[in-house]
Amino acid sequence: MRRPNFFIVGAPKCGTTALYEYLRTHPNVFLPEVKEPHYFVDDFPRYRKMTSEAEYLDLFRDANESHLAVGEASVFYLYSKVAVRNLLEFRPDAQIIVMLRNPVHMVYSLHSQHVFSFRENERDFARAWALQSARAQGKRLPAVCPAPEFLQYGDVGRLGCQVERLLQHAPREQVKIILLDDLAAFPERVYGETLSFLGLPRDDRTTFERINENKVHRLAWFSRLMLQTPFPLSVAKSIMKWGLHVPDGCVRRWILERLSAPAARAPLPTALEQELIAYYRPEVRKLEEILGRDLKRWAA
């Protein structure tokens, strides 16, 4: 059985889904249907989609000798304090891809994603940001919240510290860091550099469509039912998936995609935006030092 040799570790809302979909079509890449297994996040146990190594490795059962790069993408590996260490114990020579963006934009987008996934019941981001202290004490949490730590938007956006921690465990030559700004502006170049990092030949991809844009539900009640299925229906759904040999989450994802529509987010209020810029300024400076790049535009 093939074992994964590369990992896209996050951060969330930084283009990981786009890169995942681009790489999946390469003839020498294997990525499983199930995205974000989060197998190595021991500190967020309720967020793991599987708990045994055998179950995890079963994701890669269809990989073969033609697949030079076998990987997965779990966006909270970077935020987890133990995931990178765990995956390097599992695969010491693992190649790790990190995707980053302006943390101000990242946490605002993440909040929108949590609302869409019904894991955030405060639809106003300013109020959700203000609730972090209460939620850290276990108060004012949504009814369904597998990892309350993911609602600590301030910590999730501390990308400089997270990359710094990753590099304490992973050799620099095994890590590729990609900025969403670059992927959006120069997708073909970034894709080619990623293939080189993974030791893969170029393929014939020349188009890079936008993927995983901000969405809203057309039928929120039905989408909630699909995402938070009551126990009797979940049993029936499991039996159907087993009988039809459908990968976990694929039917649900197909339905949800057709019951959602793209929607632009409202601009951040100016005062809140300036508060977030000041909050994340030390993190941006850390990233400037690590990357050797000027990121002052992120504070513009």
CB neighbour class for 7 (10 Å; exposed up to 12, middle 13-18, buried from 19) = buried
Give residue 277's identity as a one-letter amino acid code. Answer: I
Per-residue pLDDT of 69-125, as tens digits, reads 999 999 999 999 999 999 999 999 999 999 999 999 999 999 999 998 889 999 999
- Which residues fall within 8 angstroms of residue 18, CB to CB, at 6 or more apart? 183, 208, 210, 211, 212
Average pLDDT over residues 45-58: 94
- Angle between helix axes 250-258 and 231-244 (nearest 10 degrees) is 110
CB-based burial, 269-282: b 16+ in 10 Å, e otherwise: eeeeeeebbebbee
Confidence of residue 217 (pLDDT cuts 50, 70, 90): very low
Strand pairing partners for 99? 178
CA atoms within 13 A on the CB side of 256: 19
Q: Are strands 260-262 and 215-217 parallel, antiparallel or unpaired?
A: antiparallel
What residue segments make up the domains of the chain, in order of their start? Answer: 6-102+155-211+272-299, 215-263
Query: Sorting pLDDT into bands at 50, 70 and 90, what band is 210?
Result: confident
Cross-strand partners of 29 = 69
Alpha helices in 186-269 (DSSP H): 187-197, 220-227, 231-244, 250-258
**Which residues 6+ apart lie within 8 Å of 73 measured at CB?**
7, 8, 9, 16, 17, 19, 20, 31, 35, 36
198 is written with which tokens? Answer: 């993974």
CATH code, residues 6-102+155-211+272-299: 3.40.50.300
- How confident is the prediction for the chain on average, in pLDDT? 88
Q: What is the pTM of this model?
A: 0.85
Q: Which residues contact 132 (CB under 8 A, 6 or more apart)?
A: 151, 152, 153, 154
Q: Which phi and psi angles does 207 have, rounded to 5°?
A: -110, 140
Tens of pLDDT, residue by residue over 160-189, are 999 999 999 999 999 999 999 999 999 999
Residues 2 and 63 sit within 8 Å (Cβ to Cβ): yes
